[in-house]
Amino acid sequence: MSAGVSASTGRVAARRDAAAGTARRFHRSRVARRGYGWLLIAILTTIVLLFPLYWMAVTSVTPITDLLTLHPPIVPALSHLELSNYSATFRTYPVLSWLANSALITVGTVALSLVVSVPAGYALSRMGAGGATSAGLLMLVTRVIPGTLLLIPFFVMFSTLHLLNTLQGLVLADTTIIVPFAAWLLKGFFDSVPRELEQAALVDGCSQWTAFVRVVVPLASPGIGATAIYAVILGWSDYLFSKTLLIDPTHWTITVGAASLISDLTVNWSGLMAMGVISVVPMIIAFVVLEPFLVSGMAAGSVVG
Amino acid sequence: MVTRPPAGRSVQGRRRRSRNGSADGSRFFYPALLAPAVVLGLFVIGYPLYLIIDASIRDVGLPNMAALNSAPVTGANFTALGSDPLFRQALWVSLLYTLGGTLPAFLLGLGTALLLNRRFPLRRIFRTLTLLPWAVPSVVCSFLFLWIVNASYGVLNYLLLRAHLITQYVPWLASLRWSIVGVIIPTVWKSYPFFTLLILAALQVIPVELYEAAKVDGARAWATFRRITWPGIQNAAYLALVLQLLWTFREFEIIYPITAGGPANTTQTLAIYLYNEVFQFFHMGYASALGVVTVVICVAIVVAMFPLLRRTLWRS
């Protein structure tokens, strides 16, 4: 694997210097060793990547007349901004109902998904080779079916079960989409918890269930956290099933409500962006709070190590 | 010490290995844990699949879906695919959209992951910020970019013009040629964090000593990447790639709200075509045939990438 000659220090140093770009030379200086070069790149990258969100926020508070020009104010003067779009949106549409529906569905989806996938992931993990194959297959099977294909069967099944136009029905629908991937993800985490631990618990007199709940689950909590965040994002963002299974506008989720405004507010871009901001802010807050758990969860489980 | 006799078995040998490998006697424990997930899966994935395959071989429209079993069985839906120019167009659009949406997102995700793996102040904040587009609902992405790529007042046109990359405003979503790019942009923006997340997680597992050893040996950046970094992340990268390819291929929520497949079907992927056939034309049988084709193509993608995925998916 060695990529070059490393006989004497002098030759290595010379080679290193010769191969060095600016970055290498930077390492000599104290300032650069703290990584300020990378910080600068990170700042620039983030500005570009997050510009759409910035633009959505700025546009939502800029008067529409300022925007319908050939020179939109990229960085607008603060004195020009106004919040009238937000008050108008809340007045005209049942936005608070929509937000409440989304929140309820999201919480329900996370709860139900975890209740179903955590034991399933554990079972798949402990069932040996058969478990590994079925977990992988199960996960992939749900990734090959287009969502649009499920609409009519779901509609038919849910109306038979009287779950149409209900929040519970949607929780069920979202959960079934999430469970296979979540179970597979959790299997990976449970794989990293040694069996000896629950065997020791069994020797000490625990039942299998108690051993599972008291010993194994706490150890896999980073993975459970990561799965929960995944379920939160999917539950809140869902549009396809919400649109199909929820009929009354008062039962809509925020995503369906926001989409319904696209045709309503064709020229009122500021109003539409205000709706966008309203839809996104709760998710952004949740994400900012939960994201550290997501990353540490993914790394800790060495999901793809 | 409490002894609990295993269900349905004799009391002796509490630690006897049961058939499915569980250490304790009860061999119903693991299947019992698995049962709710399996029930959900069969009920809500298995039954719809059966329904769709059944509908695809029958001559049936939305109004008479209830009488599915009595509808005549026919292969006409599938033969009609062969002579349907819209089908061929949808396949082509799907190809462009899937590759165009996934590969740039992969590169962007890889780049940001490599960046975020470096040490620099406030790195944690930037990690959260970089992953943020993933938290934005697809529908919101779609109309946000509807505004950004707006033909007359969109900020993308404005910035491109100022940077002298274009000479006049491009009607992104109205143009037959560029509409596909107009929907690819939000797709890439929404997808790249998934790559960043998985690749970064794998990067952080690579031992630092390997990099130090390479530096001592005088390895250049590309050699380091090829010999140390890539082998460490390739499992994660391939998995993310397959999952995203499948996701983009089936994607609906970014395209439909803003183009519904237009203009002139230039953004009508297979998934959109399916939707329109169901909800606009009520051709249930034909739409189901399209659905079957979609599933077959997705399975083909998985099979093609199978050798690369084996290690990740089939770990035991």
Residues in chain A within 8 Å Cβ distance of B23? 195, 198-199, 202
- CATH fold for domain A89-300: MetI-like fold (1.10.3720)
Higher pLDDT, B271 or A35: B271
Chain centroid to Cα A299, Å, comes to: 16
Listed in sequence order, the residues at least 6 apart from A131 whose beta carbon sits closer than 8 Å to its beta carbon are A123, A124, A125, A187, B316
Residue A262 pLDDT class (50, 70, 90 cuts): confident
Cis peptide before B263 (omega within 30 of 0): yes
Cα separation, B151 vs B204, whole angstroms: 43
Chain A residue with CA closest to B117: the answer is A38
- Which pLDDT band, with edges at 50, 70 and 90, does A28 fall under? low
What average pLDDT does the segment A224-245 reach? 90
Look at residue B212 in the predicted model and tell me its pLDDT.
86
Percentage of chain A modeled with pLDDT above 70: 86
Q: What is the pLDDT, as a whole number, of residue B17?
A: 46
Q: What is the mean pLDDT of chain A?
A: 82
Q: Which of A8-12, A76-80, B254-258 has the lowest mean pLDDT?
A: A8-12
Structure confidence at residue B21 as a pLDDT band (50, 70, 90): very low
Q: Which of B9, B112, B140, B157 to mutate to test the interface with A (most CBs of A within 10 A)?
A: B140
| Inter-chain residue contact A153 with B299, CB threshold 8 Å | no
pLDDT of residue B239: 87
Sign of CA dihedral A248, A249, A255, A256: positive
Nearest CB partner across the interface for B148, out of A55, A132, A304: A55
CB of A296 within 8 Å of a chain B CB? The answer is no
User: Is residue A119 within 8 Å of residue A217, measured between CB atoms?
Assistant: no
For residue B172, the distance in angstroms to the closest alpha carbon of chain A comes to 16
Residue A304 confidence (pLDDT) above 80 = no
pTM of the model: 0.84
* Min Cα–Cα distance to chain A from B157, Å: 9
Interchain pair A207, B239: CB under 8 A: no
| Domains parsed from chain B with CATH numbers | 31-70 (no CATH), 85-313 (1.10.3720.10)
Q: Residue A170 pLDDT > 70, yes or no?
A: yes
The whole-number average pLDDT for the span A50-69 is 89
Mean per-residue pLDDT of chain B:
83
Total residues belonging to chain A: 305
CB contacts of A295 in chain B (<8 Å) are 127, 197, 200-201
Measuring CA to CA, which residue among A132, A109, A108 is closest to residue A191? Answer: A132
Condensed to tens digits (0 to 9), the pLDDT of residues B267-282 reads: 999 999 998 988 888 8
Distance CA A6, CA A148 (A): 60
Strand, helix or coil for residue A95: helix
Task: Name the more confident of B73 and B198.
Answer: B198
Q: Is the pLDDT of residue A234 over 50?
A: yes
- pLDDT bucket at A55, cuts 50 / 70 / 90: very high
- Tell me the ipTM for this assembly: 0.83
A-B contacts (CB, under 8 Å):
321
Say what the pLDDT of residue B188 is: 96
Residue range B164-170: average pLDDT?
87
Interface test with B, best of A50, A149, A240, A256 (most B CBs within 10 A): A149
The tens digit of pLDDT for each residue in B55-86 reads 888 777 766 666 666 677 777 888 888 888 99
- What's the gap in Å between the CA of B177 and the closest CA on chain A? 23
CB contact under 8 Å between B48 and A139, yes or no, is no
In DSSP notation, chain B reads ----PPTTS-SS-TTPPPTT--SSS-TTHHHHHHHHHHHHHIIIIIHHHHHHHHHHTB---GGGGGGGGGSPB-SHHHHHHHT-HHHHHHHHHHHHHHHHHHHHHHHHHHHHHHHHTS--TTHHHHHHHHHGGGGS-HHHHHHHHHHHT-TTT-HHHHHHHHTTS-SS---TTT-TTTHHHHHHHHHHHHHHHHHHHHHHHHHTTS-HHHHHHHHHTT--HHHHIIIIIHHHHHHHHHHHHHHHHHHHHH--TTTHHHHTT-STTTT--HHHHHHHHHHTT--HHHHHHHHHHHHHHHHHHHHHHHHHHHHHHT--
> Distance between CA A101 and CA A257 in Å, rounded?
11
Q: Give the SS3 label for residue A29.
A: coil
Q: Is the pLDDT of residue B132 over 90?
A: yes
- Which residue, B11, B6, B5, is CA-closest to B26? B6
Q: Where are the domains of chain A?
A: 1-34, 46-82, 89-300
Nearest CB to B217; choose among A2, A38, A43: A2
The tens digit of pLDDT for each residue in B283-311 reads: 888 888 888 898 899 989 888 888 877 76
